[in-house]
Amino acid sequence: MNTFLKVFGGSILLFVVIGLSLSNNINIRRSIEIDAPFSVIHSQVNDLNQWAEWSPWLTMDPTIKTTIGDIQAGVGAHQSWVGQSGAGQLTFTESSENTGVVYDMSFAGDSTVYQAGMSYQESGSKTLVTWYMTGKMQPIIIGNYFAQIMDALMGDSFTIGLEKLKEVSEKANIIPVSDELNSEKQTE
């Protein structure tokens, strides 16, 4: 019994010491090139009503119920969600057609407010869109361990969402030839 207590105590001490030495910072980033101008991409990202078209979360957890606030686009836009995978909320703090959106995000049961967003940059004739999330995991020690795996847990979701955003944005960027001809006939 005495040996068991020494091994158990040593294991706990080792867990704490290693946990304290790990960083609790998270920095998840995924990027994709989209063949559409900033304005088309921003119309999808800036308006929370459009997120259902490309967000990976609704596919991953069909039980998610999203509630969009009174402000639905731009600075102050807010949404909350609840589902089997958890609950949380986000609020846009910055929004620019030229640079992207930034939002504060929090999850139920976690006191941390994470900063996340999507940035736009020119990439030749395309737009490079980067979806990111940064913050410090809490509580200390356990959060430090979780911070080490957050990129693996969330990164694939960001990639899936960006691929859907690319599809939606590139489709929205194409003007069908028949629509273009119809508008020309109407102006004649």
Q: What's the predicted TM-score (pTM) here?
A: 0.83
Cis peptide before 139 (omega within 30 of 0): yes
Structure tokens, 81: 């969600």
Instruction: Count how many Cα atoms sit within 13 Å of the Cα of residue 89 in the half-sphere of its side chain.
Output: 13
- What was the pLDDT predicted at 182? 52
Pairing relation of β-strands 25-34 and 86-96?
unpaired
34 burial (CB, 10 Å; 0-12 / 13-18 / 19+) is: buried
- What was the pLDDT predicted at 186? 53
Model confidence band, residue 11 (pLDDT cutoffs 50, 70, 90) = confident
Q: Can you tell me the distance from the alpha carbon of 69 to that of 64, in angstroms, rounded to the nearest whole number? A: 16
Structure tokens, 48: 């929370």
Asked if 166 and 34 touch (Cβ cutoff 8 Å), the reply is yes
| pLDDT (mean) for 61-82 | 96
- What was the pLDDT predicted at 144? 83
| pLDDT (mean) for 121-133 | 95
In the predicted structure, residue 176 carries a pLDDT above the cut 70: no
The single residue listed with the structure tokens 């910072």 is: 25
Q: Can you tell me the distance from the alpha carbon of 58 to that of 39, in angstroms, rounded to the nearest whole number? A: 25
The single residue listed with the structure tokens 């990027």 is: 31
Structure tokens, 141: 């020690």
- What was the pLDDT predicted at 138? 83
Mean pLDDT of the chain: 89
Asked if 94 and 3 touch (Cβ cutoff 8 Å), the reply is no
**Residue of higher predicted confidence among 185 and 141:** 141
Domains of the chain: 29-134+156-172 (3.30.530.20)
Q: What is the DSSP letter of 176?
A: P
- What was the pLDDT predicted at 114? 95
| pLDDT (mean) for 137-166 | 88
**Residue of higher predicted confidence among 57 and 163:** 163
Which spans in the chain are helix H? Answer: 2-21, 38-45, 57-60, 142-173, 177-187
| pLDDT (mean) for 6-25 | 80
